[in-house]
């Protein structure tokens, strides 16, 4: 269905003028078109910690970028949170919201993150602006890579429906025309420091040879 509209534009004489890259989040110090929040297991009595800032990455020698870093602590929580829930530990997540109600990516094929990792596994989750079911997120993963800038491409068709990080085994129902938030979380089962540097998040459009 994503490509159907492209063919219609050819038939009605309108040029296919969509750019091949659509910026979604840009971390160059000048963009304010998003909001960011960090969540850890401290919300459930855990001890992990995390921060997110936009600035010079420092040790990597790069310019301005977003830096998501902290420490994963696997110590089981024993102190209940405000809702009386304990037991969740080893969790840190960065959540990004656009200032728009929804991100229109129906004409695009993949999500791309320009990032420098630390060898740990990270998940990337998208949420529909209007969810079709409660607490559903659509999840992909960034391959384990040592530090060094690269572009991670995740086809929209590869995102799987999850709830609480668990696969639901149901057909994908991510509406790429209407998602409004993206989260990045440490996804391995290791204790210790983590650091992910991000220059930007974009939608990519394949070259379909239509001129």
Tell me if 5 is assigned to some domain. Answer: no
Tell me if 137 is assigned to some domain. Answer: yes
Tell me if 106 is assigned to some domain. Answer: yes
Tell me if 209 is assigned to some domain. Answer: no
Task: Show the CA angle centred on residue 53, arms to residues 31 and 37, nearest 5°.
Answer: 85
- Nearest CA to 98 among 127, 55, 131? 127
pTM: 0.81
Tell me if 8 is assigned to some domain. Answer: no
Tell me if 11 is assigned to some domain. Answer: no
- Residue 132: give its domain's CATH number: 2.60.120.430
pLDDT digit string, tens, across residues 103-138: 788 889 999 999 999 999 999 999 877 666 667 888
Domain count, the chain: 1
Domain that holds residue 91: 19-204
Tell me if 116 is assigned to some domain. Answer: yes
pLDDT digit string, tens, across residues 132-164: 666 788 899 998 877 789 999 999 988 888 887
């Amino acid at each position: 269905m994503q490509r159907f509209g492209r063919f219609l534009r050819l038939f009605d004489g309108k040029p296919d003028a969509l750019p091949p890259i659509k910026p979604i989040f840009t971390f160059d110090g000048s963009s304010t078109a998003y909001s960011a929040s960090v969540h850890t297991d401290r919300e459930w009595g855990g001890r992990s910690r995390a921060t997110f800032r936009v600035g010079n990455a420092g040790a990597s020698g790069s310019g301005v970028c977003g830096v998501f870093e902290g420490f994963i602590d696997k110590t089981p929580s024993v102190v209940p949170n405000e809702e009386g829930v304990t037991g969740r530990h080893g969790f840190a997540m960065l959540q990004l919201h656009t200032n728009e109600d929804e991100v229109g990516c129906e004409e695009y094929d993949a999500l791309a993150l320009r990032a420098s990792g630390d060898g740990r596994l990270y998940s990337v989750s998208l949420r529909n602006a209007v969810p079709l079911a409660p607490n559903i997120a659509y999840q992909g993963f960034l391959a384990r890579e040592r530090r060094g800038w690269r572009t991670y491409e995740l086809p929209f068709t590869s995102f799987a429906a999850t709830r609480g990080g668990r696969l639901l085994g149901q057909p994908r129902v991510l509406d790429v025309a209407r998602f409004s938030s993206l989260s990045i979380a440490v996804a391995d089962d290791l204790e210790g420091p983590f650091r992910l540097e991000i220059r930007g998040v974009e939608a990519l459009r394949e070259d379909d040879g239509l001129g």
